[in-house]
Amino acid sequence: MSDELRLNATRMIRNLIIGEIVNVGRGWFKNDAVNETDSFKQMLLVALHHLEEL
């Protein structure tokens, strides 16, 4: 993995984590139909999958 791709990956993961903390912490994504943890894991897997394609 190139340094540029590694930097982009770390930024993406950091943004997902911070967004999750802020948004879920404020109750913006409260929905009984979708578990917040499951949703976060799915977003992370999708993002990492796209990195593999680069």
Q: Could you list the residue range(s) of the whole structural domain that residue 22 is in?
A: 3-53
Q: Is the pLDDT of residue 14 over 90?
A: yes
Six-digit token pair at 53?
């394609």
Q: Is the pLDDT of residue 50 over 90?
A: no
The string of pLDDT tens digits covering residues 22-34 is: 887 888 877 788 8
Q: What is the DSSP string of 2-47?
A: -HHHHHHHHHHHHHHHHHHHHHHHTTTT--TTS-HHHHHHHHHHHH
CA angle 10-2-38, nearest 5°?
35
The H or E element that residue 37 is part of is helix 36-53
Number of domains in the chain: 1
> What's the predicted TM-score (pTM) here?
0.70
